[in-house]
Amino acid sequence: MYYKTKVKDYVRLPPSSFSEDLELSLTQEIKKKYSGFISQELGFVIDVTGVDTVGQGIILPGDGSAHYNVEFTLLTFKPEMQEIVLGKITNVADFGAFINIGPVEGMIHISQTMNDFVSFGKDGVLSGKNSKRALKAGDICRAKIIAVSYKDLTNPKIGLTMRQIGLGKEDWVDEPAEAAKESKEEKKAK
């Protein structure tokens, strides 16, 4: 889920920026500090949307830089448990598929790709034995987040599933409705 999050922090402004616009200089310093920032509380920082308030600046002895208490707004992506996300399959491996869900990539284990026995082909495709469904790089899919781990902040892990009604590759999602419609029509014919 995407959020606009208000944050308060002390921002160090180097002397080289003193002659420039204060808000613009602070925004640049905040972007340097928070670009690519990941935390369990904030999630993934996408961008700084604006500086809201700037406190009185102080200069610390021996530093020469000004330090401002600043309140600013960040645009963040924080994956939530049970959240339904739409993404594009970026890679398929023998153990599952990787899906791009915005600013981060999640993994769908082979057992969570579909309700079928799934095998990995040499052509880089996951195939269902009975359903004849196929999943490959470039497919657009709907998945549900079932695990989020920030154990390693440089490489957070997101686990997903597509084994529920309404999830999976775009053309799979319509199949249950079409099958139910065909079944009703068959019953009427009898």
Q: Identify the band that residue 168 occupies on the pLDDT scale cut at 50, 70 and 90.
A: very high
pLDDT at 180 over 60: no
- Calculate ∠ Cα 84-90-93, nearest 5°: 105
Q: What is the pLDDT of residues 81-115, one digit of tens each?
A: 999 999 999 999 999 999 999 889 999 999 999 99
Q: Which two three-digit tokens encode residue 117?
A: 């026995």
- Specify which residues 102 forms β-bridges with: none
User: Which of 72, 59, 53, 52 lies closest to 13 in space, CA to CA?
Assistant: 59
Domain boundaries, the chain: 2-77, 84-182
Q: Where are the beta strands (DSSP E) in 55-156?
A: 58-59, 66-77, 84-93, 96-100, 105-109, 118-120, 126-128, 134-135, 140-149
**CB 128: neighbour CB atoms within 10 A?**
17
Q: Tell me the C-alpha distance between 190 and 175, whole Å.
A: 23
What CATH number does domain 84-182 carry, 3.40.1190.20, 3.30.1490.20, 2.60.40.2580, 2.40.50.140?
2.40.50.140
Give the span between the Cα atoms of 5 and 128, in whole angstroms: 42
Read off the pLDDT of residues 44-79 as tens digits, 9 standing for 90 and up. 999 999 899 999 989 888 888 999 999 999 999 999
The encoded tokens of residue 181 equal: 């419609």
Which pLDDT belongs to residue 178? 53
Percent of the chain's residues with pLDDT above 70: 91
Q: Which residues of 66-93 are buried (b: 16+ CB within 10 A; e: fewer)?
A: bbbebebbbbbbbbeeeeebebebeebe
Determine the topology of domain 2-77 in CATH. Dna Ligase; domain 1 (3.30.1490)
pLDDT at 126: 93
